[in-house]
Copies of this chain bind each other. A is one copy, B any other.
Amino acid sequence: MSNEWGRHFQLSIFGESHGPAIGIVLSGLPAGFALDLDAIAFELSRRAPGRSNLSTPRREEDFPEILSGFFEGKTTGAPLCAILRNRDTRSRDYSLLRDLPRPGHADYTAQMRYCGFQDYRGGGHFSGRITAPLVFAGAVAKQILRAQGIEISARIASIRGIHDAPLDPLRLSDEARAALCARELPTIDPEAAEKMREAILCAKREGDSVGGVIECWATGVPAGTGNPFFDSLESDLAHVLFSIPAIKGVEFGLGFEAAERLGSEVNDAFCLKDGEIACETNFSGGIQGGIANGMPLLFRVAVRPTPSIAKKQKTVSLSRKEETEISVPGRHDPCIVPRAVPVVEAACAIVLYDQLKEVLSCRI
């Protein structure tokens, strides 16, 4: 369903960039879980724009109002709805664009899907802003997963061909992980971050934009979590990940590189570690047959460059059916990748929570 996802942890998302509010309804939460609102606010702040000269100066006050399902500091078990009011929206910036679809944006496809009745201001329901409720949902799921011993992190793996250092999730200390998510450009290697910053600012100066690759991992996922076929961990993760605007690729473990190798090179050999069954390598990204094998779950997503750029581009006037040019006005991110990092983590948390509940329900 278009705005709904989840069988056990159910999300219903709504909102348009310049309408009164955006929000989400969460269902399937346990009763009596004490929500850490500061932790939620922190996750939302990681996604929020305006934190630095790397992102759009549009400011959002992304502290949600919880309308239901939350009482005396705890979840009630009933559906929890949280909304974020849209403010500082400058609708005027967009009014001229109604007729000129921006290349790379959903303006034209929205026009075709909704016959011209879509709220076109600021991308409407297609705006990246709609990922804020997803981050809210993910922040809730993360807290529940943490109580089960599951931790989710992500980093920027590359931007414009600049790669971060290799990473073994099992060797990352809690402190290092905490430090990672506090960084403006979350990488392991600070020098890589510096070079990425330069590449982003270089693109910004030229009225252009860059994309990048985000790597996300989860530790502590119990072996046996997941499902074969249509509800494989890969299927569910990719489903939610590809709902994030600008994501054009998802790969697990070695991913596309595995396609070039020999079977003997990519099969993860089983071994004993401290008497427990483990894998010597993690080329499969912790998933076999759609089910977690106990190794860190690991995947990467490709984020395309922000389509909104100041540079002149060719487009067509929808009303006049005439070719013309456009230079997208307004404020926009030269690189959406850093702000997408917490969104990718949120997607991972949402899926893992749903899958954990599924496994639990199968005990009867």
Contacts and interface: CB of A to CB of B under 8 A. Distances in A.
Contact of A81 (B11, B14, B101): B14
Contacts of A318: 277
A5 interface: yes
A242 B241 CA distance: 13
A304 interface: yes
A267 B332 CA distance: 15
Interface residues of A, number: 163
Nearest to A110: B289
A118 interface: yes
Q: Is the interface of A mostly helix, strand, loop or mixed?
A: mixed
Contact of A161 (B160, B260, B307): B260
B68 A258 contact: no
A272 B126 CA distance: 24
Interface in A161-213: 161, 203, 208-213
Nearest to A285: B248
Interface string A313-354: 111101001110000000000000000000000000000010
Given A31-B117, A125-B228, A270-B316, 14 more contacts: A1-B231, A19-B69, A19-B70, A21-B68, A30-B362, A77-B118, A113-B359, A208-B262, A234-B243, A234-B248, A251-B256, A267-B309, A270-B314, A353-B364
